[in-house]
Amino acid sequence: MLQQTKVFKFGGASLRDADAIRNVGTILQKFAGQKIVIVVSAMGKTTNALEEVANSYWQGDPDTAKKKLAEIHESATVIINELFAQVPESLTASLNDLFVSVEWALDEAPNEEYDFDYDQIVSLGELVSSHIVAAYLNRIGLATNWVDARDIIQTDNTYREGWVKWPETLARAQQQLPGLLDEKDFILTQGFIGNTSENYTTTLGREGSDYSAAIFSYCLDAESMSIWKDVPGVLTADPRLFENVSKIDRLSYKEAIEMTYYGAKVIHPKTIKPLQNKSIPLHVRSFIDPDAPGTLVTDDAGDAYPPMVAVEKEQALINISTRDFSFVAEHHIKELFEHITTTRLQVNMMQNTAISFNVVVNDIDDRVERFCTLVNEHFKTSVDRDLELITVRHYTTEVVESMRRGKVNMLEGRLPLTLQMVVKDVPVMRRKE
Ligand code: ADP
Ligand code: ASP
Ligand code: MG
């Protein structure tokens, strides 16, 4: 039985309203009779709205936080009233319990750690959507067991970026899931969330539901995993940013890791490793055109690719130099890496010269400031913000030239298959009349 299990992941876009959820139901009808673990994200942009709740609460404004929470509850209620001719009482009760428990938490003083409070609040989005979708599937005759992902996915207590404890997670999945799949064909669970050994909720990082699906796939030795998206598959670049993109039919795990690591947002970068470790094929498919083949990510996809572009925004370039013109020596680099680790900087590119060291990082929260404060003890730093990191795999001169247009290049790095540039937008100058 285990060999036949498929894992499906439906993201926010595929669950944004009642029609979208009905469409998910129609897709799943085609798989009736098969064993499927379905992982869902929060509906639409709920996670962003919950982040606002967490921020208001943390800024000492529980009234605004409660108001925003009530709006999220209201949107969920609108969706369920549209979805069900008669809303199951148990669904209304589950949603009320979930919202009330967060509302009560908002009455307490914030914890010492923002990331902890964030996870306890923001995880609500997936819990809500999973109850709604499970109830809907049962209503349309697809027998589905709802599973709390926190009973399966165990993490350390790095809130907002929980690290999976694989042996514990594997043991729980293997103990609990096969029996449930024997009982009913479908399991429906949440992406993005996990649990610590002290029984607190963690999240796995924004957009982490793809990763959750890969964790379930790994633990169940799934036959395949599919992520259902609003695009036909993996494209040569983000269609929201570029014209004339084309679909890639087959992609190797290695290529998929390279592209997603540098910002191809269609797959969460952590998704690939668990799948690669067990040679589980990944299908990236369209929920708008569910019969189309999409993109297949496997081991043996060949290595001839067109140029592919990934853009990562909100980048900061930190230039670090020694105060006295001495060389950047090994012991300096060791110190800098220690600061990178403690401030959880996510580094996308680095380069050094004799007397300076440049790092390009995701500009998240106040991490850059905290890093610079530590580094300034022994070095000088300067920071450029609002930059973009453009990564071109399998680059050609033509594509690179077109990427450079209208940009100032702050830093560039080339490897045989990859060209990266950190750029700043410059307005195009025009001569005055
Ligand atoms: P989900 O609904 O699962 O959260 P996402 O919005 O995270 O889905 O991912 C799908 C989006 O990823 C697409 O709408 C597209 O704009 C973006 N995207 C970025 N890079 C690519 C790429 N190379 N190929 C396809 N889509 C991409
Ligand atoms: N809901 C979470 C987010 O928006 C996780 C996900 O969608 O993958 O980041
Ligand atoms: Mg997403």
Confidence bin at 1 (pLDDT 50/70/90): very low
Binding pocket residue ranges, ligand 1, CB within 6 Å: 11-14, 41, 207, 229-231, 234-235, 237-240, 264-266
Asked whether the predicted pLDDT for residue 95 surpasses 60, the reply is: yes
CA 208 to ligand 2: nearest atom = 8
Going by pLDDT thresholds of 50, 70 and 90, the confidence category of residue 111 is confident
Instruction: Tell me what the mean pLDDT of segment 273-296 comes to.
Output: 97
Quick one: pLDDT at residue 56?
A: 97
Q: Is 149 in the pocket of ligand 2 (CB under 6 A)?
A: no
Q: What is the mean pLDDT of residues 227-243?
A: 96
Closest CA to 160 of 258, 60, 54: 54
Is a pLDDT exceeding 90 seen at residue 4?
Answer: no
Place of tokens 């300076």: 356
Residue 161 alpha carbon to ligand 3 centre in Å: 16
Report how far ligand 2's centroid is from the alpha carbon of 268 (Å).
Answer: 10
Q: Any idea which of 14-18, 53-57, 324-328, 352-356 has the lowest mean pLDDT?
A: 324-328
pLDDT at 234 over 60: yes
d(CA 268, CA 161): 13
Ligand 2 neighbourhood includes 192 CB (under 6 angstroms): yes
Tokens for 197? 């050994």
In the predicted structure, residue 144 carries a pLDDT above the cut 80: yes
Arithmetic mean of pLDDT, 241-268: 92
For residues 344-361, give the mean pLDDT.
92
Return the residue whose CA atom lies nearest to atom 5 of ligand 2.
Answer: 207
Ligand 1 pocket check: which of 229, 234, 235, 393 to mutate, most ligand atoms within 8 Å of Cβ? 229
- Residue 158 vs residues 78, 165, 193, 367: alpha-carbon distances, Å: 35, 12, 12, 15
**H or E element: which one contains 190?**
strand 186-190
Tokens of 353: 């010269």
**How far, in Å, from the CA of 430 to the mean position of ligand 1?**
35
Q: How does strand 282-286 pair with strand 224-229? A: parallel
> Does residue 50 contact residue 192 with C-beta atoms inside 8 Å?
no
Q: Which ligand approaches the C-alpha of residue 125 most closely?
A: 2
The residue whose C-alpha atom lies closest to atom 3 belonging to ligand 2 is: 207
| φ and ψ of 174, to 5 deg | -70, -30
163-204: per-residue pLDDT in tens? Answer: 999 999 999 999 999 999 999 999 999 999 999 999 999 999
Q: What is the pLDDT of residue 58?
A: 95
Contact 347, 357 (CB under 8 A): no
Query: CA–CA separation, 427 vs 424, rounded Å?
Result: 10
**Residue found by looking up tokens 């309203």 in the block:** 17
